[in-house]
Amino acid sequence: MGRFILRRFMYMNVVILVVSMITFGLMHAVPGGPFDREKALPAEIIANLEKRYNLDKPLWQQYLMYLNDVFIPQFSKTAPTSNLEDDALITFKVSGNLWVRWMNFGPTFSSRSRTVNDIFRQQLPISIQLGILALTVALTIGVPLGILAALKQNTIFDYLGMSIAIFGVSVPVIVLGPLMIWIFGVTLKWLPPTGWGTKPPYILGIFPSDLSWSFWRTAIMPAVALGLGSSAIIARLTRASLLQVIREDYIRTARSKGVKESHVITRHALKNSLIPVVTILGPMMAALVTGTFVTELTFGIPGMGKYFVTSITNRDYPVIMGTILLYAVFLVVANLIVDIMYAYLDPRIRYD
């Protein structure tokens, strides 16, 4: 297993490199530039700006400079300063006066005082928190609903459960979110209509350090709104998979041994039926935790989602590269976790 994970990390580098290449190529191929305004800026100013951000250099040179800044650890004899050009995600002192800086994702064109790393440090944790909560909602609603529907197939429970699932899939956050705000935020005044109840510092740079009611009351609505659609997908998949598994021969074998009906499900059917569910958890997790534009916009959550969309319309090249690479890393890592979970769920799967 160790060798498998190592090999997968090597593949990951290749994937990330290819993703960076395609993204870099595409974003420069799209017409327009970061400093285009409705009222055109004077040519001298644009030339100055492009010079400052190295946009006047040939593309291949820009790309190599980017790779160098992001992927290759930089050794330096000087201590890091608070200079924007100096802002690496990972900085540490090796010995004496030797410093290492790694993963400098560059500045953002839309703000003179912020870097892409600032976005990662301040906005990403919030998106991850929201994503994890949404995934938890999706699983705690989806899996039991799917099991119930499968066990009570073709009864009112099944129809009701699957109606909820269809509702969840077909009502997007852009409808559900404002509806929830109107009902619980404005009319009933149970929950604050917008906002996010945590601030840095975060534990491990991700998790909120204060899990009091003031956090939860802001988190409930967006987490449910975001998680409901995924829970519907999980519910339908769990139902279909469990229905298939309970027709398997080994379930009949279990019954013939006198296993209790509840244990037939929990001990013999469930683990088998969750294998396809785990498969979709990888991409689902990557999509939920890297920031979701509509949910964050609807509930006024200062997460990553906004940067995914605005960076592209603004041609904010470093932010485009940073967010896409982040998504790619999450996707690859989430799929690696899924593959490791496969091996745990199904002993027939061995990787070495």
Partner 1 sequence: MADLLKVSDLETQFRTREGVVHAVNGVSFDLKEGETLGIVGESGCGKSVTVMSVLRLIPTPPGKIVAGEAIFRGKDLLKMSDEEIRHIRGAQISMVFQDPMTSFNPVLTIGRQVAEPLEIHQGMNRRQAYDRVTEMLDLVGIPKSRDRLNDYPHQFSGGMRQRVMIAMSLVCNPSILIADEPTTALDVTIQAQIIELIKELRDKLGMAIIWITHDLGVIAGLADRVLVMYGGYFIETAPVKSLYATPTHPYTLGLINSLPRVDSDVQCRLESIDGLPPILMEKPNNCPFAPRCTYVKERCYQENPMLMETSEDHFTACWVDTLTGKERA
Q: Which residues lie near partner 1 (CB under 8 A)? A: 247-250, 252-261, 267-268, 271-272, 345-348
CA–CA gap between residue 11 and residue 332 (Å, rounded): 9
CB neighbour list of residue 225: distance below 8 Å, 6 or more residues apart: 173, 176, 177, 180, 295, 298, 299
Name the residue nearer to partner 1 (CB basis): 203 or 349.
349
Amino acid at 123: Q
Using CB atoms within 10 A of its CB, is residue 248 exposed (0-12), middle (13-18) or buried (19+)?
A: middle
Comparing CB distances to partner 1, the nearer of 9 and 159 is 159
Nearer to partner 1, 85 or 261 (CB): 261
Joined tokens for residue 327: 């998504």
> In the complex, what is the shortest distance from the CB of residue 248 to partner 1, in angstroms, rounded to a whole number?
7
Tell me which DSSP letter residue 265 carries.
I
In the bound state with partner 1, the residue whose beta carbon lies nearer, of 37 and 348, is 348
CA distance 243 to 229: 22
Long-range contacts of residues 181-187, Cβ cutoff 8 Å, at least 24 apart: 181/221, 181/298, 181/299, 184/221, 185/221
Q: How far is the CB of 314 from partner 1 (least distance, A)?
A: 50
CB of 85 to partner 1, least distance (A): 54
Q: Give the shortest CB-257-to-partner 1 separation in angstroms.
A: 4
Give CA–CA dist 12/332, Å, rounded. 7
Q: Is the peptide bond before 201 cis (omega within 30 degrees of 0)?
A: yes
Closest CA to 138 of 269, 265, 266, 292: 292
Q: Three-class SS of residue 95?
A: strand
DSSP letter for 107, please. Answer: B
- Shortest distance in whole angstroms from residue 67 CB to partner 1: 44
- Give the residue among 239, 314, 306 at the shortest CA–CA distance from 277: 239
Q: Which is nearer to partner 1, 117 or 273 (CB)?
A: 273
Nearest distance from C-beta of residue 268 to partner 1, angstroms: 5
112 vs 350, which CB is nearer to partner 1? 350
* Complex with partner 1: residue 86 or 248, whichever CB lies closer: 248
**Phi, psi dihedrals of residue 189, rounded to the nearest 5°:** 55, 35
Q: How far is the CB of 234 from partner 1 (least distance, A)?
A: 20
Nearer to partner 1, 191 or 338 (CB): 338
Least Cβ distance, residue 338 to partner 1 (angstroms)? 16
CB of 1 to partner 1, least distance (A): 16
Q: Is the distance from CB of 152 to CB of 144 less than 8 angstroms?
A: no
The answer to whether residues 112 and 34 touch, using CB atoms and an 8 Å cutoff, is no
* Closer residue to partner 1 in complex, CB, 30/349: 349
Task: Dig out the tokens for 161 from the structure.
Answer: 């459960």
Q: Rounded to an integer, what is the distance from CA 235 to the centroid of its chain?
A: 21
Cβ 170 to partner 1, closest distance in Å? 29
User: Hey, which residues does 239 pair with through a beta bridge?
Assistant: none
Nearer to partner 1, 1 or 30 (CB): 1
